[in-house]
Structure formats: C-alpha cells, structure tokens
C-alpha cells in the first residue's frame, strides 16, 4: 500500500515566475542558496525521460529499489578487486541519497542508502520517486533539478530542448563538478559522455543517426538564469504589494500577467529615453502598463537600473509612496459631475482666491480667468480644481481615495484642500487602481498580477456617466506629439499629468485602446529638478510607449469602441459662458451633459440692454427714437480684473445716468460671490494677539453691480466695492454673513469664531 505522502515534503523550492506565455522571468534562491525549479515529472517530454533512464537506470520500472546484479559487480570491482570505483546506484538510491543527505563513499553509507531506497520503494510509487529525482538531481554549482538546469544552460524550459541538449543534461549528474559546461568551454569528459549515451540512443532510434555530428561539438550555453521584470517578480516574492489580487505561494512556477515581448519593448523605449535626457538630470524613472479591461499588469519597470546603487535602483517605484501632484484631479471632476456641480463646458473661475489660511497658486502664478471645465482639467488649473473640491458634499477626493484602498492615509483634516495638489502620497499601483475604476465605468477592481479570463466581482463606486464625461475631457488634452502613427489616428488617447511640489515627481497617466500606462520620472532621494514637469518630462515617454504599442497592433486587435454612455447626451451651450444659450448668445457648441444631474442654467453673460445713443447711458425705456437695443457681455468683477491684467479689457456695460432712479430689480445676472470668509469654516482668534483677530470680507460682483452691502444676520456691517477688502473684527461666536448688491442679489456663508489662549 502506497503512502499519500510526498517525498519532497521538507524540500524548499525556488520561488519562480514566468510571463503569461510561460517564459521564465525570475528565479529566487532558496534559504540554502540553491536554485530549484519544481516541475512534475509527468510534464517532462517522454523523449527526455527515455534518455534519462537509458543513462541512469534502464531497469527502473522493474527493480524494487536496488539492482542486485549491479551491486555485486560494483562491490567486487571496488572492494575486492580494487581495480576501479564504480557505482551501482539506481534512481531510487540516488533519491535516497539526495533526500536524506547521505554520505555514500564508504560501505556503511552505502548500506544506509540501500535501506533508505527499499523504504522509498515500499512507501512511494515509481512515478513519485522519478518526480523527486528530476527535481533534486545536482546539475553543477547550486543548480538542482533538470528544469532549472535547462533554463540555466539553454535559456528555455525542458519541453523545448532538442536531442543534443537532452543528452547533455542526462549525463551531467554523474559528475557535475567536472562535466558542468561554462559559457566559453565544454569539458572533454562531458563530450565523451554525451557521445557514449548517443550511441546507446541510436541503437533504439536509428532515425537519429544523422545527428551524431553534433555530439562532437562544443556546447553553446548561457550559464545564467533569466533576469526579467525583477521589481515585479520581487514584489510578488516578498508580498509587498497592495490593491492587487492575492498571489498564493506555489511550488510550481507561477505564470504571471507579464507579457515579456511587451516588457522588452517598453524597456528599450525607457532605457533610450533615460539616456537621451540624462543631460536634464534624468537618472531614474518607472513605468506600469496594464490591460484595464482585465486589470492585468502587462509590463513593469520599477527603476532605471536595479543594480545601480547610486540611484537606489533596488527601490521599487511601483510600490513606493510618492506625491501624485495633479494626476488625481480627474476624480475631483468626476465627483463634481456626478454631484451635479458641472457639465463638460461649465465655466469655472481661475482667479486668485484664499481658502481660510490656504492660498493656492497656479503654475508660474498665471491665472486664465473664465475657463471651461474640460480645459480647467486638461490644463491642470489649480484654482478651479480646489474650488470644486471645496464644494463637494457627499464625498470628496479624500473619500474616494479611501474607498480605493489607498494606504497610510492620515485624517482628512491633515490634508484639507491641499490634497487636490498631491499632498497625500500614493503608489503607482494605487493610481492604477483608481484610473482603472474610471476606465471601467465606475466599477472598482483589484489589480491582477496573474492572467484572468474576465473581470469579476467589481464594486460600483463611481457614476458611469460621470466617468464617461471625465474620459472625454481627458481625451481633449493636447498631446505632446501632434502626429500619431497613421493606422491609429482615430484611436482616442486621454491623459493627465502631475508635478509634485518642489519638482520631485513627474507623472503622466495615459489610456489608449485597452491599455493604461503610468510613467514616473524622479529621484528616490527626493531631490527636486526644475525639469521634472509632468507634461515636459513624463508625458513624452508615455506617448513614446503608447504610439509604439498602438503602431504595432493589428487592426483586428483593436477594441470595439466602448465609450458610449447610457444617459450622457450632447447639448448646445453658449461658447462663452458654458450655460444653456439664451436668444442673445452669438455662438454655441456641444457639451456632454447628464440629464437630471448636470446643472441647467441659462447664460448670464450675454444680456440685452437698452442704451440712449445721445447720452451713452443705459435706460429701462423701450427701443425707439434714440433708444437702441444692444447685446453686451456682463462679467463678474473678479474676472474683469483678470481681463485687464491680461491686456484683454472687456467693454463694460454702460451705467444708468447718475440722476436717474433705478427701478430695475430684475435679478438676472450673477449674484455676489463671497470669496472671504469661507463657508462652514472655523476661524481661530488668539487672546494674546488681538491686533490679528480680524476677518477679511471680500466678494466679487456682477458687471452691473457697483457696490456690495455686508450684513451679519440682520445687522449692517459696511458697504464696499466689488473686489474690495474689508477688515471686520467680530467677537467669538457663530455668524451668518450676507453680501448683497444693489439689485438685491445675494450670497451668504456661515462661519464660527473660536478664541484660544
């Protein structure tokens, strides 16, 4: 009765990883410093097993563990005649020696080996014994097992060897120290042993006699194991990843999601790019490429050179926490879309603003005034993004990042609105998971490190229509290269860049066809570099990769367009304001819109007024005589200031004559917008600094507003001009501050003032 045990229990095998097609990527040493790749004997080619038995034990399936005739002959020659030392070990005896670490060069060790062999035959089947042998046999140095030796010497698996290579491996274990070939030398003993075994082989297979000429040749061997995707495989080996499906340890080689052909293509592009930009201080970077339809990692570069200690090359950028800069802004816009704050072309203000004590700035301190939402995102304008983040109610960027499994996050209050600019550090894998959610119409999936047939068990955490519009926004981002390969001109490519504070991290995240590509350029020592700007440094590499992949795809491999949304529709909006056009808007364009969610507001910029031609003043009289109708643009005061600073002054609508009493209480147009103080905010006063215990009141007004009246509750505070700052010194307590213009249009905020020592 055979045991159900395992001869190899207690034997440690190397963690080994292959690409999705079975090509070996990496083999890690065991704790006893051996390379042992496990491969079941049943998966070995029959020709190899036949060759092996010819060489080692042609009666393997007939004997019970020992060959008595061979033992008697060996004992006579070795111990009685003492002519030469010959062995009589069967495969079972060799397994006993390897399994139990026996010393067999004396008679007592030999007897112990025989006893162990008989025990193995009693407890295990022939197939189990053969399986143990092919995986434990020494093949030179610290290489054990024929599958390991096949990859070490020939760079391919045992199933891909030819007859000459089979024979070489089969004769190696008899004397691996002397017979193991080197990259530039093959020992004469190995060649002779190979010729001898070949003669035995052709006796049974005369059809192979024409291959005899190869037996005299020097061997072409690699003498090294594959060293591919080192950071990726090490990440799995050390179990240092997060936001990915769990990869359970296995005795057998694990087939990963990596596509080695794609990995090599990206490595070539990456290495050339680093070399070309070395003069700009570029020494390090990383790339992560996924098939987002299955969330499989297809290629991964963790650093520019794993073995370069000067750049800390062994650090893996894929799992290192870095500032994402502005690369996560798309999720603010997605949340704003699903919460009904914006549509594709909503006009947002890119103007100087202060949030409590936080005064964000744009790159190079340039403000662009009124910008449409899609442009604000693709041009990475800070003020609109921060303003939207401040207005998000149900959940904001912090909440989404938390839902997406971002680790090591501090409390929400720690980041405040600065999270918009990348103050919460993330890993490349975490960025990939978030963008994967955007690309999969709001369904969240873990990243797969192993091939999967299809995605399953996704959790819907974002609105599909808002995801669709956000992607359409990102596809409007101007590419850094204006020319695409001709065969992919119509393939959409959306991307977002990111630059961390201090120019320490440069990011570009792009999606095209079924691919999601993330590029990072930076230094692990945190040293800043003015060249590390996302659009200038990371994006060119991302586009090189994207165009290379797309350009090498066959037409039948391209995805069927899946960007259509169930509910989002295109509507006409005013080209200037982004609002639903009124009858006075001169030009319209299409904007993506979610019915029932996106804001519906008529254009307030273009308005029809009546002007007295003689006086030039505005009037409420009807058209006729000297009274003419005109369409004018009415811009809020803060935007008018920006237009003037930019040298693009707008024609200010005429005012009423000073002596005329205005009865125009029509509340069309923009109400005042309180810029400071900020709504729902606690302000802290210190008793020790009474001179600083003041609140700044300032509000922007419509183009036809010439004054702002401030109230605390029903109590009058003061009158100011739109955009004028007013210092107010209240006592501790809760207040509702209202700003009203002369037309009765108003805005209000609720604040609380606390006093501390």
Packing angle of the helix pair 126-136, 91-100 (nearest 10 deg)? 60
Average pLDDT over residues 494-508: 96
> Is 436 within a domain?
no
Q: Which tokens go with 204?
A: 């049974």
**Percent of the chain surpassing pLDDT 70:** 93
Of 271-285, 599-613, 649-663, 675-689, least confident by mean pLDDT is 649-663
The per-residue DSSP string of 650-708 comes to --PPPPPPTTSPP------SPPPEEEESPTTEEEEEETT-GGG--EEEEEE--TT---E
Same domain assignment for residues 170 and 296: no
Q: C-alpha distances in angstroms, 348 versus 196, 254, 501? A: 84, 51, 24
Helices (H) and strands (E) counted in the chain, each on its own, are 20, 27
Is residue 140 a part of any domain in this protein?
yes
Q: How far is CA 122 from CA 65, 118, 131, 237, in A?
A: 9, 6, 16, 37
Q: Are 398 and 424 in contact (CB under 8 A)?
A: yes
For the stretch 544-589, pLDDT in tens is 999 999 999 988 888 876 667 889 999 999 999 999 999 999 999 9
Name the strand (E) or helix (H) holding 435.
helix 428-439
Residue pair 233/163 in contact (Cβ under 8 Å)? The answer is: no
* CATH, residue 455: 3.40.710.10
Same domain, yes or no, for 289 and 158? Answer: no
pLDDT reported for residue 689: 82
Helix 539-551 vs helix 260-276: crossing angle, to nearest 10: 140
Lowest-confidence pick of 275-279, 366-370, 708-712: 366-370
Confidence at residue 82, expressed as pLDDT on a 0 to 100 scale: 52
Does the pLDDT at position 84 exceed 50? no
Assess whether 118 and 210 both reside in one domain: yes
69 and 211 inside one domain = yes
419 in a domain, yes or no?
Answer: no
Report the 10 Å Cβ neighbour count for 532.
26
CATH of the domain at 735: 2.60.40.10
pLDDT at 526: 87
Whether the Cβ atoms of residue 120 and residue 129 lie closer than 8 Å to each other: yes
Contact between residue 464 and residue 566 where contact means Cβ atoms under 8 Å apart: yes
> What is the C-alpha to C-alpha distance for residues 225 and 25, in angstroms, rounded to an integer?
9
Count of domains forming the chain: 3
H/E segment holding residue 619: strand 618-619
d(CA 103, CA 109) in angstroms, rounded, equals 6
430 occurs within a structural domain: no
Mean pLDDT within 390-414: 95
Most confident of 114-123, 209-218, 230-239: 230-239
pLDDT of 299 > 50? The answer is yes
54 and 176 co-located in one domain: yes
Answer yes or no: do 203 and 244 share one domain.
no
| Residues 149 and 233 both lie in one domain | no
Beta bridge partners of 253: none
Backbone angles phi, psi at 539, to 5 degrees: -65, -40
> Which of the pair, 623 or 30, is modelled with greater confidence?
30
Does the residue 365 lie in any domain? no
Whether residue 352 has pLDDT greater than 60:
yes
Q: Give, rounded to a whole angstrom, the gap between the first and last alpha carbons of the chain.
A: 85
Assigned domain for 54 exists: yes
Residue 700 has pLDDT above 60, yes or no: yes
Burial label, 278 (beta-carbon count in 10 A; 0-12, 13-18, 19+)? exposed
pLDDT tens digits for range 622-672:
777 789 888 888 888 777 777 776 666 677 788 778 766 554 545 567 788
Q: Which of 435, 322, 329, 339 is nearest to 383 (CA)?
A: 329
Q: Are 478 and 543 in contact (CB under 8 A)?
A: no
Average pLDDT rounded to a whole number, residues 89-107: 91
Q: What is the pTM of this model?
A: 0.88
**Residue of 597, 654, 659, 607 lying closest to 633 (CA atoms):** 607
**Closest residue by Cα to residue 23 from 226, 306, 232:** 226
26-36 mean pLDDT: 97
Q: Which helix (H) or strand (E) holds 752?
A: strand 746-756
CB neighbour class for 77 (10 Å; exposed up to 12, middle 13-18, buried from 19):
middle
Q: What does the pLDDT read at residue 484?
A: 81
Torsion of CA 178, 180, 185, 188, to 10 degrees: 50
Structure tokens at 642: 């920006």
Token couple for 153 = 């010497």
Q: Is pLDDT at 282 greater than 90 in this prediction?
A: yes
Range 417-427 average pLDDT? 95
Q: Max CA-CA distance within the chain?
A: 138
DSSP string covering 547-605: HHHHHTS-GGGSPPP----SS-EEEEEETTT-SBP-TT-S-EEEEEE-TTTS---B-SS
Alpha carbon distance 393, 408 (integer Å): 24
For 669-696, what is the mean pLDDT?
83
Question: Cα–chain-centroid distance for residue 284?
Answer: 17
Closest CA to 10 of 112, 116, 101: 101
- Asked whether the predicted pLDDT for residue 4 surpasses 80, the reply is no
pLDDT in tens, 132-187: 999 999 999 999 999 999 999 999 999 999 999 999 999 999 999 999 999 888 89
Which range, 412-416, 699-703, 741-745, has the best average confidence (pLDDT)? 412-416
Average pLDDT, the chain: 90
Residue 527: inside a domain, yes or no? yes
| Closest among 443, 446, 447 to 464, alpha carbons compared | 443
Last residue of a domain, one of 566, 585, 619: 566
How do residues 371-391 score in pLDDT, each as one tens digit?
A: 999 999 999 999 999 999 999
Say yes or no: 232 and 211 in one domain. no
Of 82-86, 236-240, 266-270, the one with minimum mean pLDDT is: 82-86
187 plus 94 within the same structural domain: yes
Rounded to the nearest 5 percent, the helix, strand and coil shares of the chain are 35, 20, 45
Q: Which of 216, 247, 270 is the last residue of a domain?
A: 216
Residues contacting 362, CB < 8 A, separation 6+: 350, 381, 382, 383
- The predicted structure's pLDDT at residue 660: 62
Name the 3-class secondary structure at 113. helix
Residue 335 domain-assigned?
Answer: no
Do both 85 and 171 map to the same domain? Answer: yes
Choose one of 189, 216, 243: the last residue of a domain: 216
Q: Which domain holds residue 501?
A: 228-322+443-463+476-566
**Using CA atoms, how far apart are residues 449 and 298, in angstroms rounded to an integer?**
9
Are 56 and 143 in the same domain?
yes
- Compute the distance between CA of residue 351 and CA of residue 419 in angstroms, rounded to an integer: 19
CATH number of the domain encompassing residue 66: 1.10.3810.10
305-345 pLDDT, tens per residue?
999 999 999 999 999 999 999 999 999 999 999 999 999 99
Q: Are residues 257 and 151 in the same domain?
A: no
């Amino acid at each position: 009765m055979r045991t159900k045990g395992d001869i190899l229990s207690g034997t440690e095998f190397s963690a080994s990883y292959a690409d999705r097609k079975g090509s070996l990527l990496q083999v890690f040493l065991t704790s006893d410093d051996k390379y042992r790749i496990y491969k079941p004997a049943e998966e070995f080619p029959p020709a190899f097993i036949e060759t092996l038995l010819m060489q080692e034990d042609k009666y393997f399936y007939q004997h019970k563990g020992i060959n008595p005739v061979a033992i008697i002959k060996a004992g006579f020659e070795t111990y009685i005649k003492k002519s030469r030392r010959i062995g009589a070990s069967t495969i079972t005896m060799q397994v006993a020696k390897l399994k139990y670490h026996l010393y067999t060069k004396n008679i007592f060790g030999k007897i112990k080996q025989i006893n162990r062999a008989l025990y193995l035959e009693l407890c295990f089947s022939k197939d189990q014994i053969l399986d143990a042998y092919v995986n434990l046999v020494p093949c030179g140095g610290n290489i054990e097992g024929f599958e390991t030796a096949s990859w070490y010497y020939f760079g391919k698996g045992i199933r891909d060897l030819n007859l000459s290579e089979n024979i070489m491996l089969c004769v190696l274990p008899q004397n691996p120290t002397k017979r193991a070939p080197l990259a530039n030398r093959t020992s004469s003993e190995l060649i002779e042993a190979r010729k001898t075994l070949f003669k035995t082989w052709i006796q049974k297979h005369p059809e192979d006699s024409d291959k005899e000429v190869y037996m005299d040749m020097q061997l072409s061997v690699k003498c090294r194991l594959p060293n591919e995707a080192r950071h990726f495989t090490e990440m799995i080996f050390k179990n240092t990843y997060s936001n990915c499906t769990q990869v359970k340890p296995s005795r057998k080689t694990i087939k990963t999601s990596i596509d080695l052909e794609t990995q090599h293509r990206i490595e070539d592009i990456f290495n050339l790019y680093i070399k070309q930009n070395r003069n700009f201080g570029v020494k390090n970077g990383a790339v992560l490429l996924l098939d987002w339809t299955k969330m499989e990692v297809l290629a991964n570069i963790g650093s520019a050179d794993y073995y370069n200690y000067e750049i800390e090359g062994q650090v893996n950028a894929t799992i290192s926490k870095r500032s994402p800069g502005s690369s996560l802004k798309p999720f603010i816009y997605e949340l704003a879309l699903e919460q009904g704050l914006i549509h594709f072309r909503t006009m947002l203000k890119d103007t100087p603003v202060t949030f409590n004590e936080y005064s964000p700035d744009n790159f190079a301190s340039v403000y662009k005034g009124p910008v449409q939402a899609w442009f604000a995102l693709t041009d990475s304008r800070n003020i609109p993004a921060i303003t939207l983040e401040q207005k998000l109610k149900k959940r904001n960027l912090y909440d989404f990042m938390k839902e997406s499994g971002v680790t090591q996050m501090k409390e929400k209050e720690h980041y405040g609105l600065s999270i918009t600019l990348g103050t919460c550090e993330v890993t490349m894998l975490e960025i990939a998971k978030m963008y994967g959610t955007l690309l999969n119409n709001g369904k969240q999936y873990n990243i797969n490190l192993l091939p999967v047939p299809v995605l399953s068990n996704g959790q819907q955490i974002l609105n599909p229509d808002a995801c669709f519009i956000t992607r359409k926004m990102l596809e409007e981002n101007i590419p850094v290269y204006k020319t695409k390969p001709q065969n992919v001109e119509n393939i959409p490519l959306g991307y977002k860049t990111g630059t961390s504070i201090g120019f320490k991290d440069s990011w570009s995240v792009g999606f095209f066809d079924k691919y999601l590509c993330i590029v990072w350029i930076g230094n692990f020592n945190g040293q800043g570099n003015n060249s590390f700007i996302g659009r200038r440094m990371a994006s060119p590499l991302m586009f090189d990769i994207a165009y290379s992949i797309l350009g090498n795809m066959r037409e039948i491999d391209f995805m069927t367009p899946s960007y259509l949304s169930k509910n989002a529709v295109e509507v006409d909006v005013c080209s200037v304001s982004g609002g639903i056009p009124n009858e006075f808007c001169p030009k319209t364009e299409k904007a993506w819109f979610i019915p029932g969610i996106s804001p519906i507001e008529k254009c307030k910029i273009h308005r029809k007024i009546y002007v007295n031609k003689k006086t030039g003043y505005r009037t409420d009289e009807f058209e006729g005589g000297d009274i003419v109708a005109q369409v004018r643009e009415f811009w809020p005061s803060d935007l008018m200031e920006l237009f003037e600073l930019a040298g693009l002054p707008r024609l200010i609508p005429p005012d009423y004559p000073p002596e005329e009493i205005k009865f125009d209480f029509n509340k069309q147009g923009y109400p005042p917008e309180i810029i400071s103080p900020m709504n729902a905010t606690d302000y802290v006063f210190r008793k020790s600094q009474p001179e600083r215990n003041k609140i700044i009141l300032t509000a922007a007004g419509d183009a036809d507003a010439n004054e702002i009246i401030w109230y605390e509750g029903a109590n009058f505070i003061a009158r100011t001009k739109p955009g004028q700052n007013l210092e107010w010194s209240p006592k501790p307590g809760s207040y509702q501050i209202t700003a009203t213009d002369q037309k009765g249009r108003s805005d209000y905020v609720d604040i609380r003032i606390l006093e501390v020592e």
